[in-house]
Amino acid sequence: MSQAASWSSKIGFVLSAAGSAIGLGAIWKFPYTAGTNGGAVFFLLFLLFTVLVALPVQLAEFYIGRTSGQNAVDAFKSLAPKSQWPWVGRMGVAACFVLLSFYSVVGGWVINYTVHAFSGEIHAGADFGALFGATIASPAGSLFYQFLFMLMTIWVVKGGVSDGIEKANRYLMPALFVLFLMLAVRSLTLPGAMQGVEFLLKPDWQFFEPQTMLTALGQAFFALSIGVSTMITYAAYLRKDQDLFRSGNSIMWMNLLVSLLAGLVIFPAVFAFGFEPGQGPGLIFIVLPAVFMKIPFGTVLFAVFMVLVLFATLTSAFSMLETVIAALIRHDESKRSRATWGIGLAIFAVGIPSALSFGALADLKIFGKTVFDLWDYIISALIMPIGALSIAIFTGWVQNKQQVLANISEGSTVPRAVISLWLNALRYLAPIAIILVFANTLGWI
Report how far residue 115's alpha carbon sits from residue 39's, in angstroms, rounded to the nearest whole number. Answer: 31
SS3 369: strand
pLDDT of residue 5: 65
Instruction: State residue 279's pLDDT score.
Output: 65
Report how far residue 75's alpha carbon sits from residue 71's, in angstroms, rounded to the nearest whole number.
6
Show contacts of 212-216: CB within 8 Å, 24+ apart: 212/37, 212/38, 212/41, 212/42, 212/45, 213/45, 214/436, 214/437, 214/440, 214/445, 215/33, 215/37, 215/42, 216/37, 216/42, 216/45, 216/46, 216/48, 216/49
Going along the chain from its start, the domains and CATH numbers come out as: 3-441 (1.20.1740.10)
Looking at residue 281, its pLDDT comes to 64
Ordered mean pLDDT values, 10 residues apiece, the chain (445 residues) = 64 87 80 87 93 93 95 95 96 96 94 91 88 92 97 93 84 84 86 90 88 84 85 92 91 90 87 75 79 84 86 91 95 93 98 93 89 88 89 96 93 90 94 86 74
Does the pTM exceed 0.85?
A: yes
Rounded Cα gap, residues 21 and 148, in angstroms? 22
Whether 266 contacts 187, CB under 8 Å: yes
β-pair partners for 79: none
- Report pLDDT for 335: 94
Through-space distance between the first and last CA atoms of the chain, rounded to whole angstroms: 47
- Is residue 191 left, alpha or beta, with left meaning phi > 0 and alpha meaning psi from -120 to 50? beta
Cα 319 to Cα 198, 312, 314, distances in angstroms: 35, 12, 9
